[in-house]
Amino acid sequence: DAGVIQSPRHEVTEMGQEVTLRCKPISGHDYLFWYRQTMMRGLELLIYFNNNVPIDDSGMPEDRFSAKMPNASFSTLKIQPSEPRDSAVYFCASTEPVGNTIYFGEGSWLTVV
């Protein structure tokens, strides 16, 4: 199994540009999570999906952030427009329907200048 796959691994963009982060969960997992990690706040949950439906987006910082899951094998996290304070590592994770383990991707390292 290839695990949770995220792209891009690294992105540097200018303030005001649109950023799209992508995630492919492990096949058969029906929960998908997007996390953001910074030094100050640690690992924060932004949003999670169950069977492609957003369940809780209370962690999404503001309207500039949006997430979609058009099918069971793909999700996107979009930031538009991006700001320097959005610089962080963004992790996607997935879990089995009744499993106990959350599997994380390797993260997307975003720098907004």
**Span interacting with another protein, options 20-28, 68-76, 79-87, 99-107, rule CB under 8 A:** 99-107
**Residue pair 17/113 in contact by the 8 Å Cβ criterion:** no
Looking at residues 37 to 96 of the shown chain, list those that interact with another protein (rule: CB under 8 A). Answer: 41-45, 48, 50, 55-56, 91, 93, 95-96
Tokens 């096949």 -> residue: 27
Chain positions contacting another protein, by CB under 8 A: 4, 30-31, 33, 35, 41-45, 48, 50, 55-56, 91, 93, 95-107
